[in-house]
């Protein structure tokens, strides 16, 4: 049988060649797909995520901050209060977005863009950064966009925001896992 392709007739040899090519292509695609999400190092080569990965805490403070433990214990009440700060006087939602995806109404003002706590690109930010580091950035600000909240929010309020940010990370992980199941 001859394969008709846009008026061109393809010979048997060409058919075999085409089949082999297709087979290799499908196999390759599947292997990439099956390997699951790429690790951050690989992704970095495609798109510049260095601003996501790099520590915002100065190097001389980094080890101290990484050791800090959140003194506020997560519970429903703390989460509700933290959400109220996030969407209210903390004004976090303006840049980081209602869902923490870094897509708030003012997000486009900033370069690099505001932190995506949801980590929708699955870069692994939530895993890399410790509570203490997040607390430090809320306290002291970072770069041109993120203001310091040392004078605007109490220590407890800032720690509770760390809990809220972690909660966003958890919901992201759940969502990604659910999506993953559907795919496979």
Partner 1 sequence: MKRIIWDRKPLRVLLFIGVFVIGSYLSSYAANEVAKLTTAPEVPPAITRAGGANVTVELESTEKKGKLSDGVEYTYWTFGDTVPGPFIRVKVGDNVTFTLKNSAASKNIHSIDFHAVTGPGGGAKATQTSPGGKTAFFWKALNPGIYIYHCATTHIPTHIANGMYGLILVEPEKGLSKVDREYYIVQGDFYTKGKTGEKGLQAFDIEKMRAEQPTYVKFNPMATPGNLKANVGETVRLYVGNGGPNLTSAFHVIGEIFDTVYQQGAVGSEPAKNVQTTLIPPGGAAIIEFKVDVPGAYILVDHAISRAIDKGAVGILEVTGAEAPNVFKPLKSGGADAGHK
Instruction: State the virtual CA torsion across 132, 134, 139, 141 in degrees, nearest 10.
Output: 140
The answer to whether residues 119 and 169 touch, using CB atoms and an 8 Å cutoff, is: yes
Mask for 60-99, x = binds partner 1 (CB under 8 A): ----------------------------xxxx--x-----
Q: Restricting to residues 11-70, which ones interact with partner 1 according to CB under 8 A?
A: none
Least distance from C-beta 184 to partner 1, angstroms? 41
Least distance from C-beta 108 to partner 1, angstroms? 6
Q: How many CA atoms lie within 13 A of 158 on its CB side?
A: 21
The strand pairing partners of 84, in sequence order, are none
Burial of 52 by CB count in 10 Å (0-12 exposed, 13-18 middle, 19+ buried)?
Answer: buried
Supply 122's token pair: 């699955």
Return d(Cα 182, Cα 184) in angstroms, integer: 6
Question: According to the binding rule CB under 8 A, does residue 112 interact with partner 1?
Answer: no
User: Which of 19/109 has CB closer to partner 1?
Assistant: 109
Least distance from C-beta 139 to partner 1, angstroms? 13
User: Which of 53/106 has CB closer to partner 1?
Assistant: 106
Question: According to the binding rule CB under 8 A, does residue 139 interact with partner 1?
Answer: no
Question: According to the binding rule CB under 8 A, does residue 148 interact with partner 1?
Answer: yes
Binding residues for partner 1 (CB under 8 A): 88-91, 94, 106, 108-110, 144-149, 151-153
């Amino acid at each position: 049988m001859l394969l008709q392709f846009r008026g061109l007739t393809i010979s048997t040899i060409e058919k075999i060649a085409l089949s082999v090519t297709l087979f290799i292509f499908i196999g390759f695609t599947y292997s990439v797909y099956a390997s699951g999400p790429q690790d951050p190092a690989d992704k970095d080569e495609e798109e510049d995520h260095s601003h996501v990965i790099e520590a915002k805490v100065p190097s001389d403070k980094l080890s101290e901050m990484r050791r800090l433990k959140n003194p506020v214990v997560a519970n429903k009440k703390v989460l509700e209060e933290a959400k109220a700060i996030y969407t209210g006087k903390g004004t976090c939602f303006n840049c980081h977005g209602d869902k923490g995806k870094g897509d708030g109404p003012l997000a486009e003002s900033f370069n690099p863009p505001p932190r995506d706590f949801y980590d929708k690109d699955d870069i692994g930010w939530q895993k890399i950064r410790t509570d203490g580091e997040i607390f430090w950035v809320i306290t002291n600000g970072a770069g041109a966009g993120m203001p310091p909240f040392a004078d605007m929010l109490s220590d407890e309020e800032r720690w509770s925001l760390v809990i809220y940010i972690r909660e966003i990370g958890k919901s992201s992980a759940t969502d990604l896992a659910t999506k993953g199941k559907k795919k496979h």
